[in-house]
């Protein structure tokens, strides 16, 4: 029976021990490099010979692999010294296998085909360029004995069950080895290899990688497809390790063998050209690339390279890059169990994170630190803005639009009265009052650098104001009907104004008012937005069309007709999605590229009013909207679930909401009750805000108590 199993007292023989617990991993005893091959060796003697540092001092035993990674293991050395010699006896089968391995690190440990050097491993200078080929294990031997197969020895005794909490042991172990290598713990990874008996990659894969990176094309091809290309077999079987020498790799089901061959030969050809060996290159072109009959266009391009290759490009690094890229391309066609995708463990952790964040309803991270892995991520409801901290009643008309500046310092409000107010957000005092309009003001738009503000009014004019002084610097007057919307280009030099005119309703002009372009269209513009990357202009018209224009070419990209009247449009910060409020009480989130409706949010009431919504939250994970029933609705953007319904406005519609870009726990809303409400989280007030609240006229204090 297994002495090994008895030496551990825990019922689960294999415990996941990473990081600080690595020291508890018992060392596999049978690691001495000077072991004879026979199996009946005394266990104790083997154990004695084993020490953590033998790895770095191995004598050449098997074959003539040059010892390369001196530097690398010495870096990992300190870690190894803490490891106690606890390990007793490996099982018989493992003994056999371990003895036949070459325990030295052969290649500087790196990752899957790229030349990234992991922290903690240094690659030896001489073969720096193209020997970084291993993925997850240090030592390998090409012509190792036949008992070594892909991943684990079949005769290994089963003292550990192959089921690790529901996951396949082999997969988990190999992932861990790869992860350790990525983290730089090469010693630990090596030990894990030895103890578990798994390798991240089989010998064939290592040989394949080596062949590609060294430029041994015929080896590479034979590894991929089978020793003899003219064999009738398709060559996608995995070998069971009996054939002497490397056998072919297992490919994915639908791997395009022709394409892979083409890629390999293409690289060979290009390299020959780079080294100016034109004769050989032509030979390759004729004998190898031509008969493949794959993609004649590329073939022609390659032949064209022959004549156009003027630069004497002997750049070694470019060749190395090409080979690595080839490796990455080809590895996509190799079965993932043979070649694990790069950084797979990190990928999986990312997915877990994303899943947790997607489920976290109140996710509104004010800091940018990612959630810890130790606890499932759940955001606290108390961090969410739920409470009105300030109510501003300076507006003498219904409030139709509020908007924070991009730096979060100012808040502009406008509405039925023709006065526009600019508040400072620190104290919420009125900084400027802008009087020049003659009719109600429907929209304001801050410039990207917050130095200017455009206001659009129903007196058919749009005005550009200097935000610091409150002076009007420009009047845009080219339309008969109300100007409904305006937008800045990201460079702050041009603006687009839209109106409900039948003609000339969408104009691009520079800031000093010179009109540069007017889109010809019959659709009256109700709202427009420019994507933050400056690429597209999205226009929403009252005839229920959404039209997307390319801003640089001014051409129309596409136009979709929606089912109901729309009331507002917003573009997300990543320029990929837009949010549209519809009169049938839905809010649609539409992908700009594909024009597909990604999400729908319901719950708010619109009737016929212009109700505006906004993206909210620290990384735009929320959708906020007003509603005609005096409530504010907040949804989780990814889930579509309604998180909160906030009451506070007394009557009429909540026309507009705006989230503070600088403070993710503050947003403002404006409604028909002529009030602007600032919402923040439950326990937040700064001293200035508190003073402000108390200085509001006392007859409103009872309402505050009701709210809070």
> Where do contacts with another protein occur on this chain (CB under 8 A)?
398, 400, 415-416, 440, 442, 482, 484, 500, 502, 524, 526, 542-543, 608-611, 628, 652-653, 655, 672
Residues 637 and 665 sit within 8 Å (Cβ to Cβ): no
Taking the C-alpha atoms of residue 448 and residue 398, their distance in angstroms, rounded to an integer, is 27
Q: Which is nearer to another protein, 333 or 628 (CB)?
A: 628
Q: Which is nearer to another protein, 434 or 653 (CB)?
A: 653
DSSP notation for 509-552: EETTS-EEEE---SSPEEEEEE-TTSSEEEEEETTSEEEEEETT
Unique residue bearing structure tokens 């440990």: 109
Residues 176 and 192 sit within 8 Å (Cβ to Cβ): yes
To another protein, the closest distance from the beta carbon of 252 in angstroms equals 56
Q: Which is nearer to another protein, 99 or 482 (CB)?
A: 482
To another protein, the closest distance from the beta carbon of 397 in angstroms equals 11
Q: How many CB atoms lie within 10 A of CB 631?
A: 21
Q: Which is nearer to another protein, 457 or 531 (CB)?
A: 457
Taking the C-alpha atoms of residue 684 and residue 682, their distance in angstroms, rounded to an integer, is 6
Q: Which is nearer to another protein, 107 or 609 (CB)?
A: 609
Strand order in the sheet with 430-434: 399-404, 410-415, 420-424, 430-434
To another protein, the closest distance from the beta carbon of 503 in angstroms equals 11
To another protein, the closest distance from the beta carbon of 466 in angstroms equals 26
Taking the C-alpha atoms of residue 133 and residue 342, their distance in angstroms, rounded to an integer, is 12
- Tell the burial category of 145 from Cβ atoms under 10 Å away from its Cβ (0-12, 13-18, 19+): middle
Taking the C-alpha atoms of residue 103 and residue 354, their distance in angstroms, rounded to an integer, is 39
Q: Which is nearer to another protein, 190 or 527 (CB)?
A: 527
Relative to beta strand 494-499, strand 483-488 is antiparallel
To another protein, the closest distance from the beta carbon of 672 in angstroms equals 5
To another protein, the closest distance from the beta carbon of 605 in angstroms equals 11
To another protein, the closest distance from the beta carbon of 487 in angstroms equals 17
Q: Which is nearer to another protein, 68 or 610 (CB)?
A: 610
To another protein, the closest distance from the beta carbon of 364 in angstroms equals 29
Q: Which is nearer to another protein, 427 or 542 (CB)?
A: 542
Q: Enter the tokens of residue 68.
A: 């390369």
To another protein, the closest distance from the beta carbon of 536 in angstroms equals 23
Q: Which is nearer to another protein, 218 or 607 (CB)?
A: 607
Q: Residue 411 in 3-state DSSP?
A: strand
Phi, psi at 627, each rounded to 5°: -160, 160
Side-chain half-sphere exposure of 157, counting CA atoms within 13 A: 13
Relative to beta strand 515-518, strand 525-530 is unpaired
Among candidate residues 614, 703, 609, 689, the one with its CA nearest the CA of residue 650? 703
């Amino acid at each position: 029976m297994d002495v090994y199993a008895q030496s551990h007292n825990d019922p689960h023989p294999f415990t996941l021990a990473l990081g600080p617990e690595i020291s508890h991993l018992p060392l596999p005893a049978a690691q001495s490099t000077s072991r004879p091959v026979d199996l009946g060796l005394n266990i104790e003697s083997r154990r004695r010979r084993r020490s953590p540092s033998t790895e770095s001092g191995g004598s050449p035993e098997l074959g003539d692999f040059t010892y390369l990674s001196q530097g690398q293991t010495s870096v990992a050395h300190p870690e190894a010294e803490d490891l106690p010699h606890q390990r007793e006896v490996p099982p018989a089968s493992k003994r056999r296998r371990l003895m036949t391995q070459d325990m030295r690190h052969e290649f500087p440990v790196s990752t899957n085909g790229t030349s990234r050097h992991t922290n903690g491993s240094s690659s030896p200078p001489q073969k720096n360029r193209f020997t970084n080929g291993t993925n997850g294990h240090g030592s390998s031997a090409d012509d190792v004995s036949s008992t070594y197969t892909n991943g684990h020895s079949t005769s290994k005794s089963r003292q550990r069950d192959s089921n690790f909490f529901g996951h396949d042991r082999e997969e988990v172990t190999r992932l861990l080895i790869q992860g350790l290598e990525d983290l730089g713990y090469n010693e630990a990874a090596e030990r894990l290899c030895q103890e578990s008996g798994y390798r991240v990659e089989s010998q064939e894969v290592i040989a394949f990688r080596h062949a590609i990176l060294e430029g041994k094309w015929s080896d590479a091809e034979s590894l991929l497809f089978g020793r003899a290309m003219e064999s009738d077999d398709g060559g996608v079987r995995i070998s069971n390790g009996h054939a002497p020498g490397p056998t072919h790799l297992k490919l994915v089901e639908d791997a395009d063998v022709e394409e892979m061959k083409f890629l390999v030969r293409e690289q060979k050809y290009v390299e020959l050209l780079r080294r100016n060996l034109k004769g050989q290159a032509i030979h390759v072109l004729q004998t190898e690339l031509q008969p493949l009959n794959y993609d004649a266009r590329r073939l022609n391009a390659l032949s064209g390279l022959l004549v156009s290759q003027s630069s004497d490009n002997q750049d070694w690094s470019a060749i190395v890059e090409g080979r690595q890229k080839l490796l990455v391309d080809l590895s996509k066609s190799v079965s993932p169990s043979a070649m694990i995708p790069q950084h797979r463990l990190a990928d999986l952790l990312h997915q877990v994170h994303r899943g947790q964040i997607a489920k976290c309803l109140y996710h509104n991270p004010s800091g940018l630190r990612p959630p810890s892995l130790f606890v499932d991520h759940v955001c606290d409801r108390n961090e969410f803005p739920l409470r009105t901290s300030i109510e501003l009643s300076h507006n003498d008309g219904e409030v139709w639009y509020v908007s924070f500046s991009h730096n979060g310092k100012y808040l502009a409000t406008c509405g039925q009265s023709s006065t526009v107010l600019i508040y400072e957000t620190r104290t919420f005092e009125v900084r400027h009052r802008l009087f020049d309009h003659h009719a109600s003001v429907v929209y304001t738009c801050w410039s990207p650098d917050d130095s200017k503000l455009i206001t659009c009014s129903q007196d058919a004019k749009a005005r550009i104001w200097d935000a610091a002084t409150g002076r009007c610097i420009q009047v845009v007057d080219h339309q008969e009907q109300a100007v409904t919307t305006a937008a800045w280009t990201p460079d702050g030099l041009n603006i687009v104004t839209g109106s409900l005119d039948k003609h000339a309703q969408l104009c691009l002009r520079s800031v000093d008012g010179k009109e540069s372009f007017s889109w010809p269209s019959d659709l009256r513009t109700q709202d427009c937005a420019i994507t933050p990357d400056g690429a597209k202009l999205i226009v929403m018209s009252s005839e229920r069309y959404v039209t997307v224009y390319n801003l640089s070419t001014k051409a129309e990209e596409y136009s979709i007709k929606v089912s109901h009247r729309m009331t507002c449009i917003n573009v997300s910060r990543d320029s990929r999605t837009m949010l549209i409020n519809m009169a049938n009480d839905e809010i649609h989130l539409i992908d700009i590229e594909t024009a597909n409706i990604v999400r729908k949010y319901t719950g708010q009431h619109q009737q016929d009013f212009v109700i505006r919504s906004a993206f909210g939250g620290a990384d735009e994970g929320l959708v906020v909207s007003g509603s005609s029933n005096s409530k504010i609705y907040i949804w989780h953007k990814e889930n579509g679930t309604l998180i909160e319904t906030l009451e506070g406005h007394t009557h009429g519609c909540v026309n507009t909401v705006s989230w503070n870009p600088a403070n993710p726990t503050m947003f403002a809303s404006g409604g028909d009750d002529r009030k602007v409400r600032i919402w923040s989280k439950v326990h937040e007030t700064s001293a200035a805000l508190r003073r402000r609240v108390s200085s509001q006229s006392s007859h409103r204090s009872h309402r505050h108590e009701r709210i809070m």
